[in-house]
Structure 1
Amino acid sequence: MPSGDGAPPGAHPSRVRLGGGAVIGSLRGTVLDRSAAGEALVEVGGVGYRVTVAPGTLAGLGDVGAPVFFWVHHHVRDDAVTLYGFTARPERDCFEALIGAHGVGPALALAILSVHTPMTLRRCLLDGDLDALTLVPGVGKKTAARLLIELKSRLDLPELDLVAFEGGADGASARSELRAALAGLGYEPDEVGAVLRRLPADGEVEPMLREALKLLAVER
């Protein structure tokens, strides 16, 4: 991995010192190249850094020579050292929370963030939305149910009143059915999300649907 030690003042990647080692926290430079495999080559002070990014991030990069800034997660394993780049700090923070969950590696974490922004992922957790998580390639119902339970303790939700998921997969499935039923009746996603936060974390679909419709009728 290039160190960038020969770069002029002000061109160094941002670093955090941990245990005497240099951990790259951000990169500011120019786009030197990019590949369809999801890798951008960023030149900083004459040194090229290979940065793995999500497909949407790769598509949003400028042409060769364009300026670029990434918040970076420096991932170190016994057999590889990889830089993962994000255009916004909340994306990097969310990525790091995801890879801390059991069974979630960097590839799956990137896949999740390719489908959901950090905010929509938080909404999925808040609403117990299994169906939204299964939109991610490689995530089935069982994996989604496990992620709902595990990620709620890893993702910081200061602005949201996170409901408990003690109801497990059955409770989450009931809420997903309720969400689909309300959407089918023509309610907007924001309306559905707001009313779900006012309902119990689990329960039977029909009574919850009746209660949701009462609440929505009052709101409208």
Structure 2
Amino acid sequence: MIGSLRGTLLDRALTGEILVEVAGVGYRVQAGPATSARLGDLQAEVFVWIHHHVREDADTLYGFASKGERDAFEALLGAHGVGPALALAILSVHPPANLARVLADDDVAALCLVPGVGKKTAARLLIELKTRLDVPLGDGVPATDGLDGPGGAPHSVRADVRDALVGLGYTPEEIAEATRELPDADAGAALKEALRRLASTR
């Protein structure tokens, strides 16, 4: 099984797939857009952590810029109904540290930002992933009590801001970044701060 690759970045696709040449052999590696971008320019030397996914009808390499991302990906694959495509989508919206916080907060709405994840799926994933990612059960704050989560605005405020940004047409990735570590404020002020962050990245 292949665990890592060190070589030359020959090509990258808009889908995130990269081509890494190692000792004259080109390896096609599926990577999320963020990982692909972090690897730098074409022809640069790169190091990629690999999950080698073998099935009866496929033999695929999935690449990550850090071991933590690969570990989170493999933990996600162990959850019922989560395949490689959904695991990559979850990590594209919620990197490992943010995902751990989402789980600790019992933040169903944050998981619903991932394309293809509805409320029922998100609720089930919260329970399964807490054990797989070593997040203690029972440490989260229920989303309905309005109390402050660790280092950010109350759950109801974050949910209101996310709903507003969805209505404005922002992507799940943009919304996840803009609502991370929001200050403790009312929904109006929190939305203004999120919009300010989004404006600064465009």
Tell whether 2:148 aligns with 1:174.
Answer: no
Tell whether 2:59 aligns with 1:89.
Answer: no
**Equivalent pairs: percent with the same residue?**
62
SS at 1:30 equivalent: strand
Tell whether 2:134 aligns with 1:164.
Answer: no
RMSD value over aligned CA atoms? 2.5
Report if the CA contact (8 A) 1:31-1:40 is conserved. Answer: yes
Question: C-alpha displacement at 1:58, in angstroms?
Answer: 1.5
- 1:183-205 superposed Cα distances (whole Å, 9 cap, x missing partner): 98xxx94776xxxxxxxxxxxxx
Residues 54-73 of structure 1 mapped to structure 2, 5 A cutoff: 54-73=32-51
The TM-score with structure 2 as length reference comes to 0.71
Report if the CA contact (8 A) 1:38-1:55 is conserved. Answer: yes
From the superposition, tell whether residues 45 and 121 of structure 1 become closer, same or farther in structure 2 (CA, over 3 Å).
same
From the superposition, tell whether residues 143 and 108 of structure 1 become closer, same or farther in structure 2 (CA, over 3 Å).
same
Opposite residue 36 of structure 1, the aligned amino acid is L
Structure 2 gaps of 5+ residues are 148-153, 161-179, 185-202
Question: C-alpha displacement at 1:31, in angstroms?
Answer: 0.5
Aligned counterpart, 1:140: 118
Residues 185-196 of structure 1 mapped to structure 2, 5 A cutoff: 189=181
Distance 1:183 1:191 in 2: 14
Question: C-alpha displacement at 1:156, in angstroms?
Answer: 2.4
SS at 1:123 equivalent: helix
SS at 1:91 equivalent: helix
Question: C-alpha displacement at 1:59, in angstroms?
Answer: 2.1
Question: C-alpha displacement at 1:40, in angstroms?
Answer: 0.3
Aligned counterpart, 1:100: 78
Question: C-alpha displacement at 1:175, in angstroms?
Answer: 5.0
- 1:94-123 superposed Cα distances (whole Å, 9 cap, x missing partner): 000000100000000000000111111111
Distance 1:182 1:132 in 2: 9
Distance 1:79 1:147 in 2: 26
Opposite residue 126 of structure 2, the aligned amino acid is L
- 1:53-94 superposed Cα distances (whole Å, 9 cap, x missing partner): 001111223222101110100000000000000010000000
Select between 148-157 and 41-50 the one with higher mean Cα deviation.
148-157
The TM-score with structure 1 as length reference comes to 0.66
From the superposition, tell whether residues 143 and 182 of structure 1 become closer, same or farther in structure 2 (CA, over 3 Å).
closer
